[in-house]
Amino acid sequence: MADTKAKPGQPKQGLLLDIRNLRIEATVYPPGEPPKNIVLVHDVSLTLEKGKVLGLIGESGAGKSTIGLSSMGYGRGGVRITGGEVLLNGRDILKGGKEGFRKLRGREVCYVAQSAAAAFNPAHRLMDQVVEATLLHGTATRAEAEKRAVALFKKLSLPNPETIGERFPHQVSGGQLQRVMTAMALCSEPDLIVFDEPTTALDVTTQIDVLAAIKEAIRDTHVAALYITHDLAVVAQVSDEIMVLRDGKKVEHGETRRIIEAPRTDYTKALVSVRSIEHEEKELTPTALLSVRGATAAYGGGVVKVLQNVSVDVRPGQTLAVVGESGSGKSTLARVVTGLLPPISGSITFAGRTLAPRLAARSKDDLRELQMIYQMADVAMNPRQPVGTIIGRPLEFYFGMRGRERDHRVAELLDEIEMGKGFMDRYPAELSGGQKQRVCIARALAAKPKLIICDEVTSALDPLVANGILKLLLNLQQHEKVAYLFITHDLATVKSIADSIAVMYRGEVVRYGAKSKVLTPPFDAYTDLLLSSVPEMEIGWLEKAIKGRRIESGGH
Amino acid sequence: MGSPVLRLVAQRIALGILLLLAVSVLIFAGTQILPGDVAQAILGQSATPESLANLREQLGLNDPAYVRYFRWLGGVVTGDLGTAMSSGQDIATSIKGRLWNTLFLAFWAAIVAIPLAVILGLIAVRYRNGWVDKLISGLALASASFPEFFIGYVLVYFFAVKWQIFPGISTVYDSMPFGERMQAIALPATALTLVVLAHMMRMTRAAILNVMQSAYVETAELKGLSAFNVIRKHAFPNAIAPIISVVMLNLAYLIVGVVVVEVIFVYPGMGQYLVDHVTKRDVPVVQAVGLVFAAVYISLNIIADIGAIVANPRLRHPK
Amino acid sequence: MLDIKRIPIPALIGIVLTTLFVLAALFAPWIAPHGNGEIIGDVWEPMSSAHWLGTDNLGRDLLSRMIYGARITLFIAVLATALSFSLGAILGFSAAVFGGWYDTLLSRLVDLLMSIPTLIMALVVLSVLPTNLITLILVMGILDSTRVYRLSRAVAVDINVMDYVEAAKLRGEGSGWIIFREILPNALSPLVSELGLRFIYAVLFLSTLSFLGLGVQPPDADWGGMVKENKDGIVFGIGAALIPAAAIAMLAISVNLVADWVLNRTTSLKGGRG
């Protein structure tokens, strides 16, 4: 083992990881049925040269994390490797048994998890956790390991690299923890690091810093990496090669530039073009459907101000996208408009009437004409009600429809969301993620609303599914002339759907206007930061973006 | 230790004292809920008006309830728990020796039960879903369904009557040598241990399992730590707080168990004292003993909370 | 829907035993070989073909006493559970939905009641109350309702913050629809298994009170009372007291097995059918 380890700082050559016909299975226990085996990964093969980065990309259920962890001989929650070979530094690790796995984990292969906040033990100081694997495998003394860790903290541009190790995980922000975790993986100088969606949980302006730090660290230490993500634009920045996976099978494998610029399969083509819905901006009408004027709102009896003097308009049949990062107050704005959180000051007019600040004081028509769709479709529907009841209830409640008239209308609505009336008797648990969100859209449409508030409706969905939902929303807007107040953190989505845009930062609207105006320079500092942080499907974007940034993000 | 810990602990203790006051009101009120009056209930329908008036005078029933409460509370605070109606003895004196007996019994039951429960819980987690786990869980389910007197009398039937290893009646007296005393409490202590063991073990198992499912345990496994070290270094420090609260909660079960166990083994402790005087409708004794039980129970809960506060790194090391 | 072959064996045993106990209680006068208070032999006769379980401390047929005892035990336990459950669930749900001072007041009161061990509080109250069935049921029911309150409030609070409940509120639905159509169907499974546990607790609690001489009064006797009646025989090696004690344990285990199965069955069903 030791002879295969080159000194750090020098490029290494030769084959590091060779996975051959890997087959991974798990046993599932469906309620009321005998347990059965399902295959998560179907005979996937891949190779990785020393010092290279391979991106594994796919939607949820593609098996990318499962494959990544198999390089450490690890299966989450009863997952078993049932076939194939995993050759690391020339030996099949699957034959090494438990003892063999323990020797390679934390020494030859290290892991960086999606949520560093959960992956650090809250009871120990960061430094103790960072050097733990190094000390365990006896590859350095404590003093050496700590020196190495501090150097890595510096390289990853963590603030106070000398002392940050003294802290406990809860004393450090999410973006910093992710970098500390990368340092932890690099500290024992492994040959391979498995990055499992390391930036997915971060805000976009924090993501870019972490991404740049990871890329630099990989380059300087010449460690090889498996980089797992669902975001093709992200993986294009860090990897040499990309493998596209779907339902546990390999779809396409190639050099990064080739995959992005000349994808061969339809599935990869769809993934590459996922962010390019063309949406022509509509002419702004003089009258507004919804006008929010000077809204200020707070939680905890006025102590924590989360919304300050916000004024925006939504025009009939058009879309206003409210964009911002976590803590920007964009979801609070939705709660104020719906009446769930009465504002301290400010007014809301809707369709020519002044809306009561409190939900309880609003008329049935106010409620009907203003509908809402949520981010998590599975918790937005009562699991004990079939689709027919979920969509039918607003028809009963607002229009007094009963029996066949109601069922007929439910069927029409199901058609509109491109599902058949066969779904009427299904329960939410029996639907896919995209179908669930469609049912929620139908429930909102059933009320014949003038405005639908869409709160991050596509963020929990896989890119292709999200794309379908966006297209559906655009179609429906054309037919039903419904306006959207579209809340999102994702600028690519904004470009696809908005007619006008409000950019929010720390409870205030920092930029507001027609889409073309908002997205055209000159920018204010925050909008510039936000726009420049959104990964683009282009090699070399990361370096350009980092160079062009004017202000540091607020993430650390 | 940072200041938030001290502040929270002080807060918790103050809250406990407040709670104890409220409980004293509740216990006092609990003995006043009869629509008629206590004197009538004690003496029955055939009582003469003179004896009723006498008893009322003796109990101070002619004063309004709040006056009587504050008089009682004032006594409790100064260590005067009043005198028993049935025997005329000073309650505080009677309680002293009995409280010591009860604590002695509960202490030895806890000394056996706590480590046993934690070890069994750990074993069940280590062999989770295996036959050992199922066996332990099955026995726990069964013993949680046993009434205390079933366990008690089965022990007496075999150990005291059939095999004559331990006495079936636990007589203890002040000058008793330690060894004999231990022999006397062997059976009641075993019964108490069995009463709380199942609950404690089940809850310990759940607490550790919960910690074992955290992402940081996976991180530790992926560093190559052995199963034992994962538990020792990463799971255990985070399981301490839940385990402390499990243990304290179950010591509270012990208090209830002790009442029945003392009656079974005719052990001269607080529980038997209470039951005797409930039967005799001796209200002052019942109030006093009830308050002592509640105080012990509340203190255990406070200790559990303080344990959880001290074990929480977020509070020990504030931002 | 329910296929008998799919019921696991422990649950099946639980169901059969529980049914037997219930049948014995319902048809006691027809099943019992002798009357409840009838003295038919010597004190503590051993088991024989004439008296399957022997006789008790007064020479009554123990089997007949057991069957009548099942009746009293189950009757009181069922009523006390019904009281604690309806009281606790109604107050818990309404506290979760209405919130505000109503919730605060109820919750603090329950905290207070629960800061005294139930048995101790029961003993305090029973020291002044007349010992009869109604008192017993009321004391057991009210003291135990605190636990049901805590559970149903917690369950309802969890459901009340779900997006689908918010969606119903935004639609303008009244609290009737929200409690009965949105919250209740989703709260049912944890509550049903809790019902079993509360019933076991009621049986054990009643038996304990009777054993201490503060529950059912002679000449009637529930199983706990029968343990008290016969406990003096133990020191002479006569196991009559162990029989009612074992019956209590068996009933509790059977119901526990059923409750366990119900809980597992419903939690593995993520929603929808069933």
Contacts of B160 in chain C (CB under 8 A): 235
Alpha-carbon torsion (C7, C12, C15, C20), positive or negative: positive
CB of C138 within 8 Å of a chain B CB? The answer is no
Q: How high is the pLDDT of residue A245?
A: 93
Hey, which chains touch C, using 3+ CB pairs under 8 Å? Answer: A, B
Residues of chain C neighbouring A338 (CB-CB closer than 8 A): 170
Count, residues in chain A: 556
Which chain A residues have a beta carbon less than 8 Å from that of B238? 121-123
Hey, are the CB atoms on B150 and C242 less than 8 Å from each other?
yes
Chains B and C: how many Cβ contacts under 8 Å? Answer: 153
Cis peptide before C219 (omega within 30 of 0): yes
Is C272's pLDDT higher than 50? Answer: no
Q: What are phi and psi of A442, to 5 degrees?
A: -60, -40
Reported CATH class of domain A290-527 = alpha beta
Q: Which of B147, B157, B281 sits opposite C127 (nearest CB)?
A: B281
Residues of chain B with pLDDT under 50: 1
Cβ B224–A107 below 8 Å, yes or no? yes
Q: Please report residues of C whose CB lies closer than 8 A to that of B41.
A: 128-130
Q: Do C173 and A382 touch (CB under 8 A)?
A: no
Task: Let me know: does A273 contact A464? Beta carbons within 8 Å.
Answer: no
Please report the pLDDT score of residue C252 as a whole number. Answer: 92
CA distance A297 to chain C (A): 19
Phi/psi of residue B122, nearest 5 degrees? -65, -40
From C116's Cα to the closest Cα of chain A, the distance in A is 33
The answer to whether B224 contacts A103, with C-beta atoms less than 8 Å apart, is yes
Half-sphere exposure of B249 (CA within 13 A, CB side): 16
User: Nearest residue of A to residue B230 by CA position?
Assistant: A121
Interface of A with C (CB under 8 A): 29, 31-32, 338-340, 359, 362, 364, 367-368, 371-372, 374, 376, 379-384, 386, 393-394, 397, 427-430, 443, 447
Per-residue pLDDT tens digits for B154-178? 999 998 888 888 887 887 877 788 8
- Residues of chain A in contact with residue C166, where contact means CB-CB under 8 angstroms, are 340
Q: Closest CB to B313: pick one of A102, A115, A123.
A: A123
Kindly report the average pLDDT of chain C as a whole number: 86
- Tell which residue, B118, B301, B300, has the closest CA to residue B200: B118
Q: Which of A109, A121, A182 would you mutate first to test chain B, the one with the most B CBs within 10 A?
A: A121
| Residue in A129, A137, A167 nearest the CB of B224 | A137
Position C267 scores a pLDDT of: 54
Residue contact A119–B218, C-beta within 8 A: yes
Instruction: Give C110→chain A minimum CA distance, Å.
Output: 26
CB-based contact B216 A122, cutoff 8 Å: yes
Q: What secondary structure letter does DSSP report for A6?
A: P
Predicted pLDDT of residue B130: 80
Does B134 reach chain A within 8 Å, measured CB to CB? no
Distance CA B199, CA B140 (A): 7
Residue type (1 letter), A44: V
Whether A290-527 and A15-272 are alike in CATH topology: the answer is yes
Phi-psi region of A189 (alpha: psi -120 to 50; beta: other; left: phi over 0): left
Structure confidence at residue A175 (pLDDT): 85
Q: Which of A376, A394, A430 lies closest to C272 in CB terms? A: A430
pLDDT confidence bin for C206, thresholds 50/70/90: very high
Q: Under a CB-based contact definition with an 8 Å cutoff, are residues A449 and A372 in contact?
A: no
State the pLDDT confidence band at C234, using cuts at 50, 70 and 90.
confident
Give the CATH class of B96-311: mainly alpha
- Separation of alpha carbons C88 and C107, rounded Å: 11
How do beta strands A241-246 and A53-57 pair?
A: parallel
Tell me which chain C residues have a C-beta less than 8 angstroms from the C-beta of B263. Answer: 211-212
Residue A405 amino acid letter: E
Contacts of A121 in chain B (CB under 8 A): 216, 219-220, 234, 237-238
Closest C-chain CA to A369: C171
How far apart are alpha carbons C2 and A32 in whole angstroms? 10
The minimal CB distance from C126 to the residues B148, B169, B278 is found for B278
DSSP structure class, residue A31: T
For B232, the token pair is: 């020792």
- How close B224 gets to chain C, by Cα (Å)? 33
At position C230, the amino acid (one-letter code) is N
DSSP per position, B137-162: HHHHHHHHTS-HHHHHHHHIIIIIII
Give the domains, in start order, of chain C with CATH numbers.
51-266 (1.10.3720.10)
The pLDDT, as a whole number, for residue A311 is 93
Percentage of chain C modeled with pLDDT above 90: 39
ipTM of the shown complex: 0.85
In three state form, how does the secondary structure of C205-255 look? Answer: HHHHHHHCCCCCCCCCCCHHHHHHHHHHHHHHCCHHHHHHHHHHHHHHHHH
Per-residue confidence (pLDDT) for residue C6, from 0 to 100:
72
The chain B residue lying nearest A167, using CA atoms, is B317
How much is the pLDDT for A406? 93
Percent of chain C, pLDDT > 70?
Answer: 95
At B186 the three-state DSSP class reads helix
For an interface test with A, which of C171, C180, C268 has the most A Cβ atoms less than 10 Å from its Cβ? C171
**Which chain C residues have a beta carbon less than 8 Å from that of A374?**
163, 167
Sequence-distant (≥ 6) Cβ neighbours of residue A547 within 8 angstroms: none
Start-to-end Cα distance in chain C:
8
Nearest CA-CA partner of B86 in B118, B116, B55, B117: B55
Q: How far apart are CA A140 and CA B268, in angstroms?
A: 64
- pLDDT for position B131: 86
CB contact under 8 A, C164 and A382: yes
CATH number listed for the domain at residues A15-272: 3.40.50.300
C161–chain A nearest CA distance, Å:
10
CA B72 to chain centre: 24
What pLDDT does C70 receive?
A: 92
Largest interatomic CA distance in chain C? 74
Greatest mean pLDDT range, A141-150, C181-190, C215-224: A141-150
Q: Is A317 left (phi over 0), alpha (psi -120 to 50) or beta?
A: left
Q: What is the pTM of this model?
A: 0.81
Do residues A537 and A275 make contact, with C-beta atoms less than 8 angstroms apart? Answer: yes
CB contact under 8 A, B223 and A104: no
- Averaged over successive runs of 10 residues, the pLDDT of chain A (556 residues) comes to 44 81 83 75 91 90 88 85 89 86 92 90 92 91 93 89 90 88 92 91 85 89 91 90 92 91 89 76 84 88 81 92 88 92 91 90 92 90 92 94 92 90 87 91 94 91 88 91 92 88 91 89 86 85 79 44
DSSP B177: -
pLDDT at residue A147, as a whole number = 94
For residues B251 and B268, give the distance between their C-alpha atoms in angstroms, rounded to a whole number.
Answer: 20
Identify the pLDDT of residue B22: 92
Range(s) of chain B covered by CATH 1.10.3720.10? 96-311
What is the residue type of A360?
A
